[in-house]
Amino acid sequence: MSIQWPLLVFSLLTGSGGALLAFTGVAEATGVAKKTRNAAVACALVLLVVGGCASVVHLAQPANIMAAAANVFSFSGISVELIMLGVNVIVGVAYLIASRKEASSSVMRGIAVVGVIAGVVMTFVVGNGYVMQSQPNWNTVLLPLAYMGSGLACGGALYCAIMAAFKEDIAEFKLVGVVAIVAIVIQLAACAAYGAVVASAIDAALYWGGCVGVGSVVALACAIFARKTPLAWWAVFAAALVGGIALRAAMWLAGTGFIDMFSLAAGRAVLGV
């Protein structure tokens, strides 16, 4: 199967954007990285919006776009992605407005908790939409878990990299950095498990070299080094980004036969066309 690049970009950017929002929530709830939070949320919104535009590019025709919008509450894989995309954007905008108006700490922490939940769910649903019986190499919960790990690793590394850009005190990295490292470990475990399940179908060099090797092992090594040298978080983010691309590209190449996503959805009456 050929790689569907608009969908690859959609899942990578929106998953990373959701994770970035979640890490901002962690920072807000724990009272660290104050200089970074608003910039990180703004960056998350950019990733979510650009990712959403990539999804629209894949829809291609106005009729498909209107059909998807009209059936957004069908709770299919596509509609859940769109719902969570909207929820994450709303939470991000609400956070920036509340921050600008200097809302109370309880309000800010409430939004932060919602942001953590919405962001983590976003990283999962962008992979869960591909789980289907007609695609045996995708028909496992390990696939969305790998997507979740990838999104969290990218978002966590990017948050720490933005912290480094704002020259946050190294003590501020202690909690957020540990959470980011945990995210990379989750990615490593989930991607290794998914790779083992579909080992005979995936491109070994692309998956084990790009996704697991660079995206997880190299990223983890750089993250450990970054605990003392914060600017190294940019290297962590770059490695995680390479891994995220490799994961999604390998998934598409492991698909059995060409899928027209919207013909499939129409056949199931998901889009109502």
Res. 268: pLDDT tops 50: no
What is the distance between the alpha carbons of residues 76 and 26, in angstroms, rounded to a whole number?
Answer: 30
Q: Is the residue at 119 inside a domain?
A: yes
Res. 55: pLDDT tops 70: yes
Q: Return the CATH number at 182.
A: 1.20.1630.10
User: Mean of the pLDDT values across residues 150-176?
Assistant: 96
How far is C-alpha 63 from the geometric centre of its chain's CA atoms? 28
Q: How far is CA 64 from CA 56, 68, 87, 88, 263, in A?
A: 9, 6, 22, 23, 10
> Residues 215, 240: contact at Cβ < 8 Å?
yes
Q: How far is CA 253 from CA 135, 176, 198, 210, 267, in A?
A: 12, 35, 12, 14, 24
User: Mean of the pLDDT values across residues 117-121?
Assistant: 97
pLDDT of residue 266: 42
Please report, rounded to a whole number, the percentage of residues in the chain having pLDDT higher than 90. 76
> Residues 6, 58: contact at Cβ < 8 Å?
yes
pLDDT of residue 71: 53
Q: How many domains does the chain have?
A: 1
Q: What is the pLDDT of residues 3-37, one digit of tens each?
A: 888 899 999 999 999 999 999 999 999 999 999 99
pLDDT of residue 134: 86
User: Mean of the pLDDT values across residues 121-139?
Assistant: 93
With 0-12 / 13-18 / 19 or more C-beta atoms within 10 angstroms meaning exposed / middle / buried, residue 151 is: buried
Per the structure, the complete domain to which residue 256 belongs is given by: 5-267
User: Mean of the pLDDT values across residues 109-126?
Assistant: 97
Residue 205 makes CB contacts below 8 A (sequence gap 6+) with none
> Residues 22, 73: contact at Cβ < 8 Å?
no
pLDDT of residue 269: 42
User: Which among 38, 49, 59 has a CA at the least distance from the CA of 13?
Assistant: 49
Mean pLDDT of the chain: 88
Phi/psi zone of residue 140: left (φ > 0), alpha (ψ -120 to 50 degrees), beta? beta
Q: What is the pLDDT of residues 91-102, one digit of tens each?
A: 999 999 999 999
Q: Is the residue at 125 inside a domain?
A: yes
Q: Is the residue at 273 inside a domain?
A: no
